[in-house]
């Protein structure tokens, strides 16, 4: 029995620096539920230091990986998340959760977003078990010390990460 998509648009926000197979799993699952998914790549995240890749390159990485989903578009943003969601007519914000630490942060963000935009629901997808340990910062650290990141990020991302870390 195949699930039919609900009418409506969702945004999947993140820094995606770099995008991992965990991120892509959440995006694909959202694309199977919502009529339209806008992946919002935050230009300069507040809670993280300088990003390794510029927003345009992060957008390009994701676009290359979601091309099979005609209902997914990828766009950079530098506004409040709820403003970005409204700009795209989204009725939901979809995020992945890996661990308790994710929950604590997302709980706080959910309350702030709900206060500003009670008409936009936050929906959380549990990370698939094989991706529950993946984080962009963990990938960067692993790559920095010569660890094997194949199978954790797309090949193009792995190659660019190696180039960038050699600088």
Residue 116: give its domain's CATH number: 3.40.50.620
Q: Which two tokens stand for residue 94?
A: 């979809």
Determine, yes or no, domain membership for 128: yes
Q: Is the pTM of this model over 0.85?
A: yes
Q: Using one digit for the tens of pLDDT, what is the confidence trace for 120-157?
A: 999 999 999 999 999 999 999 999 998 999 999 999 99
Per-residue pLDDT of the chain (167 residues; tens, 9 = 90+): 445 666 799 999 999 999 999 999 999 999 999 999 999 999 987 766 789 999 999 999 999 999 999 999 999 999 999 999 999 999 999 999 988 778 888 888 999 999 999 999 999 999 999 999 999 999 999 999 989 999 999 999 999 998 988 76
- Residue 158 included in any domain: no
Q: Is residue 81 part of a domain?
A: yes
Where on the phi/psi map is residue 8: left (φ > 0), alpha (ψ -120 to 50), or beta? left
Whether 44 is in a domain gets the answer yes
113 within a domain of the structure (yes/no): yes
| E strand segments, the chain | 6-14, 34-42, 72-77, 90-97, 121-126
Query: In this structure, is residue 77 part of a structural domain?
Result: yes
Q: How far apart are CA 132 and CA 62, in angstroms?
A: 19
For the chain, how many structural domains are there in total? Answer: 1
Residue 63 lies in a domain: yes
Residue 64 lies in a domain: yes
- Domain containing residue 82: 9-132
**Residue partners of 121: CB distance under 8 A and separation at least 6:** 91, 92, 93
């Amino acid at each position: 029995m195949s699930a039919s998509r609900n009418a409506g648009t969702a945004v999947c926000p993140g820094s995606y620096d770099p995008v991992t197979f965990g991120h892509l799993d959440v995006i694909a699952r959202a694309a199977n539920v919502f009529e339209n998914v806008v992946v919002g790549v935050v230009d300069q995240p507040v809670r993280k230091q300088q990003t390794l890749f510029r927003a345009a390159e992060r957008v390009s990485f994701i676009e290359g990986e979601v091309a099979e989903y005609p209902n997914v578009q990828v766009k950079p943003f530098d506004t409040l998340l709820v403003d970005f969601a409204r700009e795209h007519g989204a009725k939901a914000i979809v995020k992945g959760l890996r661990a308790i630490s994710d929950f604590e942060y997302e709980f706080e963000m959910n309350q702030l977003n709900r206060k500003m935009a009670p008409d936009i629901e936050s929906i959380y997808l549990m990370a698939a078990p094989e991706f529950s340990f993946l984080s962009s910062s963990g990938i960067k650290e692993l790559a920095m010390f010569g660890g094997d990141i194949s199978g954790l990020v797309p090949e193009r991302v792995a190659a660019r990460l190696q180039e960038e870390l050699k600088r």
